[in-house]
Amino acid sequence: MSKKIKSEGTVKNMAEVDDISCWPVATRGEPAAGGLPSTTLDMLPGKRYNLGSLTDLSYQLLGGKDGSEWYFTFDSPANATRVIHPDGVNFYDFEVKPNSRVEVSILQFGDGTSARKELIGICREIK
């Protein structure tokens, strides 16, 4: 059974948690105009990050090896959430629409010890 955490504030010891439902989660930043957070998230592979409504989101991918997956969802308010991806993450199509719930999955192919390491992302609107 996976461990779950739901809290307002920074999650500590995330390595022991599989499903993280927090607002804000491991954030560094202040709320933006309108009271919604502008968030910088440090993500571990193999965890599910369920975020609330965000005006801006930037994230870093921590750890990782061949086959690792990073997964997160968030709500985009009336003004669509602006997402800043780390270098090296490739998306075929990444569009965040206003008033939507967004699911993002990033997979790592290759271990980074050779020239082959790819981070492929998939983004979709969910209901």
Q: In what order do the strands lie in the sheet with 56-61?
A: 38-43, 56-61, 82-84
pLDDT for 5: 37
Q: What is the pLDDT along the chain (127 residues), one digit of tens a residue?
A: 333 333 333 434 444 445 544 433 334 444 444 555 567 888 999 999 888 888 889 999 998 888 899 999 999 999 999 999 998 899 888 889 999 999 999 999 887 666 677 888 988 888 6
Domain boundaries, position 111: 4-126
pLDDT for 96: 92
pLDDT for 69: 94
Whether pTM > 0.85 for this model: the answer is: no
Q: What's the domain count of the chain?
A: 1
